[in-house]
């Protein structure tokens, strides 16, 4: 999978509309990651279907399945790195130690992109 969004230099986050989102643990095997992503997508579809049926219990169960998959991927829960750096998931990049890097990305963008 190739991300269309910038990835921080340390490979911990990708950035969408200026917000950091934690990437999956790179130590996961391709097979494990593929299986977990498949579970995540199935859980997200289940959320949508339950919402369409106005099934609150089904939606809650599906959201729990999303959370389990994201935690298994390393996108939520304890961080997968071990250098003591804080988790900045969902923070605006401009308000983090990545601010200078992010500002540099914005300066390099061409007008109209």
Q: Check residue 106 and give its pLDDT.
A: 73
Residue with the two structure tokens 């911990």: 12
Average pLDDT, the chain: 93
Q: Which residues pair with 22 in a beta bridge?
A: 13
Q: What are phi and psi of 14, to 5 degrees?
A: -115, 165
pLDDT higher than threshold 90 for residue 2:
no
Note the pTM of the prediction, 2 decimals. 0.85
| 80 and 27 Cβ atoms separated by less than 8 Å | yes
The domain locations on the chain are 1-23+80-113, 29-74
Tens digits of residue pLDDT in 32-58: 999 999 999 999 999 999 999 999 999
How far is residue 23's CA from residue 8's CA, in Å, rounded to a whole number? 10
Tokens, residue 78: 């304890």
């Amino acid at each position: 999978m190739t991300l269309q969004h910038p990835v921080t230099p340390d490979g911990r986050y990708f950035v969408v509309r200026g917000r950091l989102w934690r990437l999956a643990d790179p130590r996961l095997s391709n097979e494990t990651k593929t299986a977990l992503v498949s579970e995540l997508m199935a859980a997200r579809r289940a959320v949508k279907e339950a919402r369409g049926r106005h099934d609150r219990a089904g939606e809650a169960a599906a959201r729990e399945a999303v959370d389990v998959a994201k935690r298994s991927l390393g996108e939520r829960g304890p961080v997968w790195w071990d250098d003591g750096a804080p988790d900045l998931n969902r923070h605006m990049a401009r308000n983090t130690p990545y601010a200078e890097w992010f500002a540099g990305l914005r300066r390099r963008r061409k007008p109209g992109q």
